[in-house]
Amino acid sequence: MLIKILEGIKLLILDVDGVLTDGRIYINDQGEEAKAYHVRDGYGIRLLMAAGIDVAIITGRWSKSVGHRAADLGIMHIYQGVTDKKAVCAKLLEEKHLSGDKVCFIGDDLQDFQLLKFIGLPVAVADAVSEVREAAMYVTEKNGGCGAVREVCELILKAQNAWPSLLF
């Protein structure tokens, strides 16, 4: 059943803190925030988009670094400071003329719960809170910020026969 759902995914939606990052937030003495992103997650996102699968970010917090990372990766749909992720997702699906069963969302904490129940492929990172892991159809082997997004990108691309075959 999972393979069948993966074959139909057209949009990957990502949370940030705890998914694209390990959940830690660094704040320096000047009050400036910094986050660390995994390079393999970024490359997985690029491969996904190159295969024609759209990527969006929907996050509850607002951070300059999210905008910079999204721009670096070419992610066009960025929603920050969101209190109702499900409503934002519904609007995005309407704009893109997609049904929820064509969407994969990766989350990690309680604010992601409603969106996990709304889309076709709910995914939790390995270190997500227990309620989110229980609501997920797939739980990654990797923790958030440590390659979990890449893991999901690979699953989608391999199911859709779009994983790049490299000869060495």
Sequence spans of domains, the chain: 2-25+38-159
Q: Residue 45 is encoded by which pair of tokens?
A: 């996102």
Higher-confidence residue of 93 and 163: namely 93
Percent of the chain with pLDDT over 70: 98
Strands 103-107 and 11-14 come out as: parallel
Residue 166: pLDDT over 90: no
Q: Are strands 77-79 and 103-107 parallel, antiparallel or unpaired?
A: unpaired
Q: Report the CATH superfamily, name and number, of domain 2-25+38-159.
A: HAD superfamily/HAD-like (3.40.50.1000)
Q: Which helix (H) or strand (E) holds 11?
A: strand 11-14
In 23-159, where do the E strands start and end? 26-27, 33-34, 54-58, 77-79, 103-107, 121-124, 138-139
pLDDT tens per residue across span 79-110? 999 999 999 999 999 999 999 999 999 999 99
Residues 6+ apart with CB under 8 A from 43: 150
Higher local confidence (pLDDT), 34 or 54: 54
Q: Taking 60 as the threshold, does the pLDDT of residue 37 lie above it?
A: yes
